Structure 1
Amino acid sequence: MFNWLSLVTGLFYIILGIVIIVYKFFFTVLEPTVAYPLGGLVMLYGFFRIWRAVSKIKNKGDNE
């Protein structure tokens, strides 16, 4: 169950990164020089969470 929740959380992080880049807002108005790297970093973390969850799901399937 935790792996599936991690997939959903990763998707939300990717969406949050896109929102930060498009609206340049994260609890306060951001300058573009801050919004782009922050949004990219948040999206990168979302991809990492999805990759980690998928690899754990695959490893769990191999063990059964």
Structure 2
Amino acid sequence: MMFNWLSLVTGLFYIVLGIVVIIYKFFFTILEPGVAYAMGGLLIVYGIFRIYRAVAKIKKSKDEE
């Protein structure tokens, strides 16, 4: 159960990281704008996917109880 909540927090972290990469165009090195937008977008999409998966698992575990 704790893993599901940790997955939610991790998903939020990925979304915030994606936004930071898009705004500052930096991820361990200075990025070109196109690369920054693509990488930031992928990080945001992955964060949304992690949150969706965690919410689905939390709902499933509550239904089983």
Q: Structure 1 length as normaliser, TM-score?
A: 0.99
Please give the alpha-carbon distance, in whole angstroms, between the structure 2 residues aligned to 1:52 and 1:45. 11
What residue identity is the alignment partner of 1:39?
A: G
* SS state at 1:35 partner: helix
What residue identity is the alignment partner of 2:58?
A: I
* SS state at 1:28 partner: coil
Deviating above 3 A after TM superposition, structure 1's stretches of 4 or more consecutive aligned residues are: none
**Match of 2:46?**
45
**Match of 1:9?**
10
Q: Percent identity at matched positions?
A: 73
- Structure 1: where are the runs of 5+ without partners? none
- Structure 2: where are the runs of 5+ without partners? none
User: Once the 2 structures are TM-superposed, how far is the Cα of residue 33 of structure 1 from its aligned partner?
Assistant: 0.9
Q: Cα deviations across residues 42-64 of structure 1 (Å, max 9, x unaligned)?
A: 00000000000000000000000
Aligned residues: 64
User: Once the 2 structures are TM-superposed, how far is the Cα of residue 16 of structure 1 from its aligned partner?
Assistant: 0.1
